[in-house]
Chains A and B, each alone.
Chain A
Amino acid sequence: MICWAGPARGDSVTEAFKKGGEAYYRGDYAAAVSAYERVAALGVVHEDLFYNLGNAYYRAGRLGPAIYNYERALQLDPDQDDAAYNLRIARQVAERRAADKIEGADRDPLWMRATSAFTVAMLTWTFLALYVGIFSLFIALRFIPSGGTRAGLVAVSPFLALATLAAGLLLGGRIYLAERVHQAIVLPDAVAVKEGPDPNYKTTFDVHAGLKLRLTDRDQDWLKVRLANGLEGWVRDSDVGRL
């Protein structure tokens, strides 16, 4: 994972990032949000940036963007405890704030939960290591006609093959999730989901800040969304933050 940033751009990024922290510690969360957003607008993609941005939004009382940025941080580094912790807190607060709740709206399918627990890079390297390992074993078996070593390798091979298969399935699911499943987070405190891509359509249900939606279609600046429980509708592009 490499990103190039020129010296001049690097200075402005570092400066804006630093200003964000200063504003945050000063209690000026709006200024902190502004500074961090400026860094993000420069094209920087970093889990600490999104985490800090999430904190600034949370402190500013904007739960939707806070959750969105914690999710972005976790996408880059699922092992980041701080982001996972703050995301949990923000979701709890959002859930309490929401006057009503759609049953099952925030429960992703099992395969999505299983695959999203790992990064693509982690799964890719794990799969490659196992993949090379299993073929090395097969090749080694061709050169070891008999004996205890061969027996040991033969005994290990089914487990290694299963592990390789599991890692391959997880990697496939993760890549599918990253490439084909387009998700977004609700940013305002409440958004009316319409039956069609126009404000004049009837509101079918409301979604609240921080809810994760699946994007299934697009019509100009309207997005068709689907909840984990299958409910569908249309929201404005500006009301969600795409993951």
Chain B
Amino acid sequence: MTRGALTLFLLWAADPVVFEAQLSNDQINFGETVQLTIQVSTGDPNTHARYAAPDLPDFEIVQFTPQQSTQWLIDPARGQQVKHVEFYTYVLRPRRKGTLRIGEAKLVYGGRTYTTRPLTVHVGGSGPAVAPPQPPLPELHTPTRSGSDEAFLDVQADKTRVFVGEQVTVTWYLYTQSEVLKYRTVTEPKTDGFWVEELYVPSQRLLYDRQMVRGQEYSVATLLKRALFPLSAGKLSIGPMESEVTTFSTAFYATGGAVKKTPPLSIEVAPLPGGAPAGFDPANVGRFQVAASLDRERVAAGEPVTLKVTVTGQGNLRNIKLRRPEKMDGFKTYEPKVTDRLDAGDVVQGVKTVEYLLVPQRGGELTIPPVELSYFDPYDKKYASARSERLKLAVVGEAGAGGAGNAGGTENVLAPAIRNLRNAKTIQSRVGAVLYKSSVFLPFLALPVGLYVLLVLVDKVRERLRRETPRARLRRARGRARRRFRAAEYYIRMNRPAAFYGEIARVIRDHIEERFGANVAGMTLGELRAFLTDRGFPTPVVDQIVDELEACDFARFAPTAPGPVEMRSAVRRTREILSHIERIRVREEAA
């Protein structure tokens, strides 16, 4: 048990009598209604409680609904507890503006008198200060069967003799003397031969009124209300409605709910009298007015315009037949678009709208003849006619031979006019090659990619060249040696020994420089010998290098010049020395 429920139980257990009044709203506008609910809760259903309604001089009681129930509660300390609860619900409409008082209700129970607290309702808003006299409430119908049953169904028609097409309002009721716990419709009433409009179907729960039937008080609920329009003359029957009703007093019987059935109902339908005007349709029974209007007063020829015909009034609006407008000179017409809107209420009434699309075929002031509706008025029992006014339309220009909007059919084409021609000054200037098919398109696409790849490659090469490794130095040295040997060969051919030996000496020194990354150009031969020895060169190789360099110096400055044979021999020796320089594993590298 939750804390809230426990509190309620304790309160209930402490004081078995609850008598209080509540308002649905304490501020309303004049003309609106307010609901007053008075709750009576007593502990013993067998003890008589006398209830006196509150004094309501400033209100009109629109509806009064009493309800009662019995609740059981198991109290571990005191055993089963029974509680009798009654609700008295009043729907009140104020008779005037101002702060209106709701008097005290009284309850006498168990020798004590209880009263509710007085309530006030502030009534404001627009409207007259005094309520207009309300029409007298319709006399409650008298059920067709006696009230011998605790609950029964009944059906009532507002009239049983009508003309074909005239509205009959039929209402199905439930009468009960006990609280209805469950209600279910088993069979809908058959209304063959009638055009049916639903007027009322209970949304969620049944709403009750009180009524005396042959000396007994009943709660009465409306189950269904329909407007029936007989489609033919003769005696038409309305089939029974069957419903399963479970009341408070039958709920504990094994059978549960009982199936109740309405008595039979017949309607005498008279044919329409003679003398119908020409063009009258038997479906047009009621009271109607007709109006017509155009959506524009001035249009261009060939442009569509909408003629709107509205029929308002009482009667079977959905079924009435409106004659097509007379042949309209200068217009082409199409099938109309029809819509209905019915108002709420017991009498079927509303507006039927018929929209015609008209296309003026020529210029000038064109006339739309009145639209006429002939009908039978069942209230006056005579035929009548309603007609719209004659309309005029100013049409500018002349329509052409036709158009898609008005060609080839009778459908209600509501297409607006198309836009006008375009007048290009030069019409021959639009064809051409498509860029993506051009021969330069793909090369152009490849260009940025190629450029980017080229940049990447150049960067890589430059990076590689920047790195100073022994291999890079050796590669560089070999390149320089090749160039110097080519020069030396040239000097042999030119017979220029001094220049030749100068090149040979530079080849050897360059190779040593590149090999070790050290400058040896300015070293004497002695210093060079020491340098090579320090770097781990074998003595024979050192000797060979130094000897060859000495030979070069000697040959450059000797009075007798060596011949080509000696010079080629020097080239061969030098290549051998370079080979030694490249192959030798020097100390720096070994380290």
Contacts and interface: CB of A to CB of B under 8 A. Distances in A.
Interface of A: 1-3, 5, 9-10, 13-14, 17, 21, 24-30, 39, 43-49, 51-52, 55, 58-63, 66, 76, 82, 85-86, 89-90, 92-93, 96-97, 120-121, 124-125, 128, 131-132, 135-136, 138-139, 142, 171, 175, 189
B77 interface: no
Main secondary structure of the interface of A (DSSP, over half): helix
Contacts of A66: 404
Given A27-B398, A135-B449, 20 more contacts: A2-B432, A3-B429, A14-B428, A45-B431, A46-B430, A48-B424, A49-B427, A59-B404, A59-B418, A60-B402, A61-B402, A82-B422, A93-B405, A96-B411, A121-B435, A124-B435, A131-B448, A135-B451, A136-B448, A139-B455
Nearest to B417: A89
Contacts of A121: 434-435
Given A10-B428, A142-B455, A142-B459, A120 B434 contact: yes
A138 B452 contact: yes
B421 A21 contact: yes
A26 B407 CA distance: 18
15 contacts: A3-B432, A14-B428, A25-B421, A26-B400, A27-B398, A30-B401, A43-B431, A44-B428, A44-B430, A44-B431, A46-B428, A55-B418, A86-B419, A97-B413, A124-B436
A21 to B, nearest CB: 6
Contact of A86 (B400, B407, B418, B452): B418
B432 to A, nearest CB: 4
A189 B420 CA distance: 23
B418 A85 contact: yes
B330 to A, nearest CB: 15
Contacts of B455: 139, 142
Which range contains the number of B residues in contact with the other chain? 35 or more
A5 B428 contact: yes
Contacts of A89: 415-416, 418
A89 B414 CA distance: 10
Nearest to B429: A3
B452 A93 contact: no
Nearest to B418: A86
A121 B112 CA distance: 98
B408 interface: yes
Given A39-B427, A58-B418, A96-B413, A29 B402 contact: yes
- 6 smallest CB-CB distances across A and B, nearest first, come from A27-B400, A61-B407, A135-B448, A1-B432, A3-B431, A48-B424
Given A59-B403, A121-B434, A46 B429 contact: yes
Nearest to B415: A93
A47 B449 CA distance: 37
A61 B403 contact: yes
B23 interface: no
Counting chain B CB atoms within 10 Å of each CB, which of A3, A27, A86, A138 scores highest?
A27
